[in-house]
Structure 1
């Protein structure tokens, strides 16, 4: 019995070894085939890029209306937001003290004129007497000096009278230009002066408006290239409600240097405003279309986004996938416009990206 049992055990062990041997042969690692991926060649073409910049809107004239003399506001002729024309009265400062000063100065002019007449009479009499040798030449010289002094006194009195008249005129504050009245922080009876911190109001001419925005150094270089080639297009304005403003604008001013802190340059665009839809203080977005000639185009489906960077897989001569970062300058619904990272004619993977790792050999198919 023991012998038979031993033989069965040996036979069973042999079968087990055979099974293990077969399984080992079946699981022997074989050559792993390269995954099949779809590829395409990078092409170049023409395109357009729409750049957007935050903008603030101001009137072509934003004038602080300030008093040129001190006094109490006695009248306010306009209301906030009203449209006024150049020369229209806006505010009245109590003019009574200045009117009295003007009257005093006017009386001083009358006194100076009377004094001048008296001195002139005395001078003329002495000139006649000196011819008859009744008075000396010295007396005539003294009378002439008195006459010149009286003339100067009259001119001084007239200047004081004119200054007093100007102060009276300053009491009525008129609109320097046509435009819209801003906020009026003062009320009747407020004491105002030229040294007041706040102006009486802000008068804005919005028949045309300026949109101020900043452009990066790279965008500005492209903008200059467009201008040099004659392909610069009018700028568009998008309002705060995301609706496009119906009138196109033009670039009419560029600052002379870049801001060292932000690396950007300030630009001003002008827009007509016939319907007065735009007001000073509005915000919006400037949109500028940039035409691109012979730009590299990469299908968006061939890219992988990692945080704020975009990558593609290029194939080298051995059909190995090389992960490469690309620099995007714009896009359409299907393609990225690429500034750097790939070149025209290079082969990139467009399908099967989920199975591809950097350095992996692949089997390309078009």
Structure 2
């Protein structure tokens, strides 16, 4: 009888141990393995990209200042030109006729003035001899003044006619590159017609807008460079490739745009190879050095009602939601302002499958992975 009871007790113990082991196995299977990271202070170099519009240092419309037939086009679209180089030639014949007419008018006015001088001398002699009254002399002098005024008028007309002739030769106002030429040789050109545009591509301006908050931060950084400094800026082209030459921020506008609350910055980039063109687009990248920053990867963060949360792992490997306030967001990282501190363990990936209070199996990222993770922000 005693042996029978001992066997039953033994069997019950075995069954209980099996159930306990099975329960523990199921509990382990129910706790997901999740990669986590431990927050630390980092000296980071962060990049912030801004959409920008590229403009030539000078981009000027070349317009005809006189009307006429387009006799010659001496340049081609996309070609480089030098300051003063002849670009277009209008037919000057009509204006050359006006020059000849103005020259003849000047000669006539000059001859008339000489005649009045002779007449005035004769009248003066007669007045001195009391042959005629002094009023005749006043009349002669008035005629002389009129003749001299006619000379001045004729000279002005001649200068204007010569100016019109010179305007038939359209020259480059500065070194640059010729853009589209809408007219063909032989076209009738009206005064003011757009012949082409010319761009000085030796240097390119990149205009980009920043928020008021970023503007204030930028100004403060320049006044206190020991904490945070803005270095030379980079440019990403439309295909996301890096432009090989660095630029510098030169100036800002003085007024914020009312609708967007932003202000425009201007950065200049050298363009020795003429790769950049007027009207192109790109991204200006500001590189910022931050000392002792606590960085939180963007993939570890979720938003609820405009607040930012992460899953913090406690000592018992339970995850708890915690909100934090970022000071800025740069690329794939948040810089923590408050709510998180160095030493906190947070879930790095897989936050979509977690719930508050859930137990996890933490898988800390190795030091090499952490180094790569933070290096991606540098």
Question: Is the shorter-chain TM-score for this pair beyond 0.5, marking a shared fold?
Answer: yes
Change (3 A) 1:255 1:163: same
| Contact 2:311–2:319 (Cα < 8 Å) also in 1 | no
The structure having more radius of gyration, on CA atoms, is 1
Using the TM superposition, give the Cα deviation of residue 90 of structure 1 relative to its aligned residue in structure 2, in angstroms: 0.6
- Rounded to whole Å, the distance in 2 between the matches of 1:43 and 1:282 is 41
Using the TM superposition, give the Cα deviation of residue 298 of structure 1 relative to its aligned residue in structure 2, in angstroms: 3.3
Paired residue total: 331
Partner SS, residue 257 of structure 1? coil
Q: For structure 1, which segment, 187-196 or 343-352, has the greater mean C-alpha deviation from structure 2 after superposition?
A: 343-352
| Contact 1:62–1:204 (Cα < 8 Å) also in 2 | yes
Partner SS, residue 66 of structure 2? coil
- Rounded to whole Å, the distance in 1 between the matches of 2:148 and 2:352 is 102
Instruction: Tell me the equivalent position of 1:267.
Output: 265
Q: For structure 1, which segment, 64-73 or 313-322, has the greater mean C-alpha deviation from structure 2 after superposition?
A: 313-322
- Rounded to whole Å, the distance in 2 between the matches of 1:194 and 1:90 is 16
Using the TM superposition, give the Cα deviation of residue 314 of structure 1 relative to its aligned residue in structure 2, in angstroms: 4.7
Matches within 5 A, 1:200-219: 200-219=195-214
| Contact 1:295–1:337 (Cα < 8 Å) also in 2 | no
- The answer on 1:297 being equivalent to 2:295 is yes
Partner SS, residue 200 of structure 1? strand
| Contact 1:321–1:361 (Cα < 8 Å) also in 2 | no
| Contact 1:39–1:347 (Cα < 8 Å) also in 2 | no
- Rounded to whole Å, the distance in 1 between the matches of 2:272 and 2:301 is 48
Instruction: Tell me the equivalent position of 2:83.
Output: 86
Instruction: Tell me the equivalent position of 2:155.
Output: 158
Q: Deviations over 1:208-228 (max 9, x none)?
A: 111122222333222222222
Q: 2:62 aligns with which of 44, 65, 78?
A: 65
- Rounded to whole Å, the distance in 2 between the matches of 1:83 and 1:365 is 62
Using the TM superposition, give the Cα deviation of residue 259 of structure 1 relative to its aligned residue in structure 2, in angstroms: 1.4
Change (3 A) 1:123 1:271: same
Q: Deviations over 1:193-213 (max 9, x none)?
A: 2343xx100111111111122
Change (3 A) 1:362 1:168: closer
Instruction: Tell me the equivalent position of 2:250.
Output: 252
The runs of 5 or more residues in structure 2 that have no matched partner are 1-18, 20-26, 365-378
Using the TM superposition, give the Cα deviation of residue 353 of structure 1 relative to its aligned residue in structure 2, in angstroms: 6.3
Instruction: Tell me the equivalent position of 2:311.
Output: 313
Instruction: Tell me the equivalent position of 1:149.
Output: 146
Instruction: Tell me the equivalent position of 1:222.
Output: 217
Q: Deviations over 1:35-61 (max 9, x none)?
A: 899988754343221011122222111
TM-score, length-normalised on structure 1? 0.78
Q: 1:113 aligns with which of 110, 113, 125?
A: 110
Instruction: Tell me the equivalent position of 1:12.
Output: none
Partner SS, residue 162 of structure 2? helix
Instruction: Tell me the equivalent position of 2:94.
Output: 97
Change (3 A) 1:353 1:62: closer
Using the TM superposition, give the Cα deviation of residue 277 of structure 1 relative to its aligned residue in structure 2, in angstroms: 2.1
- The answer on 1:241 being equivalent to 2:229 is no
Using the TM superposition, give the Cα deviation of residue 150 of structure 1 relative to its aligned residue in structure 2, in angstroms: 0.6
- The answer on 1:323 being equivalent to 2:318 is no
- Rounded to whole Å, the distance in 1 between the matches of 2:35 and 2:93 is 91
- Rounded to whole Å, the distance in 1 between the matches of 2:361 and 2:310 is 17
| Contact 1:323–1:358 (Cα < 8 Å) also in 2 | no
| Contact 1:234–1:288 (Cα < 8 Å) also in 2 | yes
Q: For structure 1, which segment, 205-214 or 344-353, has the greater mean C-alpha deviation from structure 2 after superposition?
A: 344-353
Instruction: Tell me the equivalent position of 1:127.
Output: 124
